[in-house]
């Protein structure tokens, strides 16, 4: 697909690169489907109130045919990044 470097850059920015380098067989297919549907949407700088609440943006992805949306801040909390800055 030619997106490997872009995906690696996004995961590194989100500090998820090491997590996705792990290759437990049971997570291979869900990880592929997650990555295939992953989109990162960044908020406009003028949306300061939204940025304070959600962080710099949000991600959308699909798992088992269901759509999900998580703010960057929620991703930080879910993975216990402790940055408190929302990227």
Domain regions of the chain by residue span = 4-78
Given a cut of 70, is residue 84 above it in pLDDT?
Answer: no
Mean pLDDT of the chain: 84
Residue 20 belongs to what H/E stretch? helix 17-21
Per-residue pLDDT band at 8 (split at 50, 70, 90):
confident
User: Of 5-19, 23-37, 54-68, where does mean pLDDT reach its minimum?
Assistant: 23-37
Closest to 51 in 3D by CA, of 60, 42, 40? 42
- Residue 59 structure tokens: 């991600």
Name the one residue in this structure whose structure tokens are 């960044």.
42
User: Of 3-7, 26-30, 64-68, where does mean pLDDT reach its minimum?
Assistant: 26-30
Q: How far apart are CA 6 and CA 3, in angstroms?
A: 5
């Amino acid at each position: 697909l030619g997106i490997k470097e872009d995906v690696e850059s996004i995961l590194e920015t989100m500090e998820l690169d090491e997590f996705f380098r792990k290759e437990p067989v049971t997570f291979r297919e869900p990880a592929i489907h997650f990555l295939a549907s992953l989109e990162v949407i960044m908020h406009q700088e003028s949306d300061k109130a939204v940025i304070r609440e959600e962080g710099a943006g949000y991600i959308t992805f699909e798992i088992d045919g269901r759509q999900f949306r998580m703010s960057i801040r929620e991703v930080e909390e879910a993975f216990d990044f402790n940055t408190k800055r929302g990227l």
